[in-house]
Structure 1
Amino acid sequence: MNPNENLSRVVTLFSKVFIRIPAVCHIDNEWDKGLVDQIMGRMFTAGFDRLIAVSSRTREIALRYTRNAAKIVTIPTGVNPVRFLGCDVERLYSTVKSARNRFNIGTVGKLVRFKGQHLVIKVLGVLRDKLPPFNYIIIGDGPDRAELGQYAYSLGLEESVRFLGFRTDVPDLLSGIDLLVQPSETEANGLVVIEGMMAGLPVIATEVGGASEIMDGGRLGWLVKPGDETALASAILEVACMPQDKRRRLGAEARKYAIKHYSFEQTVRRTEEVYLSLVNKQGQKAC
């Protein structure tokens, strides 16, 4: 059994008492946000036979609740690189008419405060006279949609900030983006960072969750501290003023690295290895 959210994890632990089969817990959030997280962390690290952390950061947090380091393995969430082949670059241009002739900065994620879209809008308001003509393409939806729109309007950016809502064609849209910015205040995995790298984009991300690990310590992109407006502005300006061929070279290197280390096939293979090791161990006990 391998549950992926707290209710099913609790049910699995109770079921495990009766059916006596191995159980694996996927850790895709950071158990350090409050009392409930701490209780869950202690319960799950004690009760599950193996825990799969999506990043070294989530593994470090989980290790606070157990001395058995061997019980926790790190397997990042993988992305299928095939999704980013043969993408339709015209998809973005037909959705946002001005995108063809502008520097397109993109963000993908739910529109909630901790995802940090408001910070990018604020920084772009400061940088507007230093940047080439630009769009800020926000892919995703959420409760902060209206507030973000009003904020962009208050800064005079209503023609530059474009809300595309929830989309199922993210790879196509990313193919028309020039720079991906992921400004989250907290993040366990950094899946969108992987997708941006797979799309061959230069990426700016906050140094939270798995982003630093995914970007090889910043070698393959720009890492900034959460909430650091100055660093974010500097990184955006640097990429925007960079020659296009250099951006493409950096993006190609990032894509190559992401395919090698974060492909879906690797995630499946390593997860299967965890399952097989537990099944074999269970079989040895039965003999």
Structure 2
Amino acid sequence: MPTAPAAAKVATLVEPPLVAARSADAPAPLRLLLLTDTSILAPGGSERFLRNLAARLPGDRYRITIVQLSQTVRAWSDVALPGAIENVSIRSLPIAACYGYSGLRALHCLAKLLQRERFDIVQSQHEKSDLFNALLPRRAGAIHVSNRRDMGFNKTARLRWLSRFLNHRFDRVVAPSQQILAALRDSEDIAPGRMVWIPNGVDTERFRPAADRDRAAVRASLGLGLETVAFGCLARLTEVKCHADLVQAFAVLRESVPDVRLVLLGGGPLQRDIAAQVAELGLDGCVSFLGDRPDVEQLLSALDVSVLASSTEGMSNAILESMACGLPMIATSVGGNIQLVQDQASGLLVPPRDPAALAAAMLVLARSAATRVQMGACARRRVEREFSLDAMVHAYDRMYANLAGRT
């Protein structure tokens, strides 16, 4: 497991090798700096988004540096980024808090990095990175972009006020769902003309329905019977994902349909609490904790229904990946979920924090294999049509080119 130095300084983890010389009349590649609070190698949706973006932007037109304000964690098998892409370098700048010594030193290091490398575009995601991006000194011709990945549930009142005060420092604010942009307009007074909507995209080649033989093999490895209806949840075990509501709903479901299983994909700080709830409800043997897995696409394809009980969402990669695997989706009607899940067509929407409504929706799909197949096919078609990874990367490429005057 590679780790970054403990000292708060920019430490290159991966240096790109030399690239072939360009023709004299070709424009210089755009220098893109991507700032993120978390390790790009982590298994979360925001990290997966950044990996996909950096890996797929045209290598002949971009030189990309990723600075993460955290230690590096172990890589997953779906990560082809470190050391594998010649135009991408990854650097680590771990900090404890923005307002402490390590934060001030990190800001100083970033300012020196910008001065030395003269980036054309600086894009940040998450709270610490956004704050640093807003405070960095400006250079003529450089563009600063804030990429908002969620509804801001982590922001304190002070941080909201500070964001509102500093938002004028960003040339553009981009988000994956229109609900996020609407919230930013209302809570942070960002003018609509400075906001851009670019929905998340999913790799429809990696995430796709499995062949019957492969699906049967994975189900057997999970101990799922031929007639068992398997519900799965792809989400970190954190408070906002509301696994307790899901487990409670599943317990109600089992009273009507005994041959069901719940598969939880993802680790997190609440795993002990959720495991205790499972035991208290007598669900041991019916609920599987699989933790963080690199083969999530195979596991999803072995399920029958995907469920997300979150109290807040930006635009969930878990929903997109589930839909791409041909699964009907049950999700709470919050944030970008409303854009992704077409109620009664590709899945079912339920109110947040309502285990009874969640259990009723699960019962509908548990009792009807035909409905599951129909909704799953609809979900797959919609992802292919509207939420491909290529479309997402192309939209960012177009935005960068417009902002840099390359069109």
TM over 0.5: yes
- Supply the distance in 2 between the matched residues of 1:7 and 1:93 (Cα, whole angstroms): 41
- Cα offset, 1:69, TM superposition: 0.8
Which residue matches 2:129? 8
Change in CA separation of 1:85 and 1:234 when aligned onto 2, cut-off 3 Å: closer
CA contact (8 A) 1:55 1:74 kept: yes
Tell me the equivalent position of 2:338: 212
Q: State the Cα distance separating 1:186 from its structure 2 match.
A: 1.3
Show CA shifts across 1:225-277 (max 9, x none): 111122111100000001x2331121111111112111111111111121111
Tell me which of 144, 149, 166 is aligned to 1:23. 144
Q: Which residue of 2 aligns with 1:246?
A: 371
User: Deviation string for 1:7-52 (max 9, x for gaps)?
Assistant: 2323323334245501111011223653144134314531100111
- AA aligned to 2:300 is L
Is residue 245–residue 309 contact of structure 2 (8 Å, CA) maintained in 1?
Answer: yes
Kept in 2, the 8 Å contact 1:92–1:99? The answer is: no
Other-structure match for 1:145: 271
Name which of 252, 261, 264 aligns with 2:386: 261
Equivalent residue number for residue 261 of structure 2: 135
- Which SS does the other structure have where 1:3 is aligned? strand
Secondary structure of 2:129 counterpart: helix
Please list every run of 5 or more consecutive structure 2 residues that lacks an aligned counterpart in the other structure: 1-121
Higher helix share: 1
* Inter-partner Cα distance in structure 1 for 2:239 and 2:346: 26
Q: Secondary structure at the match of 1:162?
A: strand
Q: How many residues are matched?
A: 281
The range that moved more, 74-83 or 36-45, is 36-45
Tell me the residue number matched to 1:172. Answer: 298
Query: Does the CA contact (< 8 Å) of 1:115 and 1:184 recur in 2?
Result: yes
Greater than 4 Å deviation, 4+ residue runs:
none
Map of 2:107 onto structure 1: none
Percent sequence identity is 27
- State the SS of the aligned residue for 1:82: coil
Distance 1:250 1:79 in 2: 18
Residue of 193, 207, 216 corresponding to 1:70: 193
CA distance in 2, matches of 1:17, 1:239: 54
Corresponding residue SS for 2:371: helix
Greater relative contact order (CA < 8 Å, ≥ 6 in sequence): 1
- What RMSD, in angstroms, separates the aligned Cα atoms of the two structures? 2.1
Match of 2:404 in 1: 279
Say which one has the larger Rg.
2
In structure 1, what residue type is equivalent to 2:239?
R
How far apart in 1 are the matches of 2:166 and 2:398? 21
TM-score of the superposed pair, with normalisation by structure 2: 0.65
Deviation for aligned residue 1:136: 0.4
Aligned position for 2:350: 224
| CA distance in 2 between partners of 1:99 and 1:205 (Å) | 25
Instruction: Indicate the larger mover: 137-146 or 61-70.
Output: 61-70
Checking the alignment, whether the CA contact within 8 Å between 1:200 and 1:255 is kept in structure 2 is yes
Tell me if structure 1 keeps the 8 A contact 2:209–2:326.
no
- 1:54 — aligned with what? 176
- Tell me, in whole angstroms, the C-alpha distance in 1 between the residues paired with 2:161 and 2:291: 36
Match of 2:395 in 1: 270
Query: Could you say which residue in structure 2 is the equivalent of 1:38?
Result: 160
Q: Any unmatched runs of 5+ in structure 1? A: none
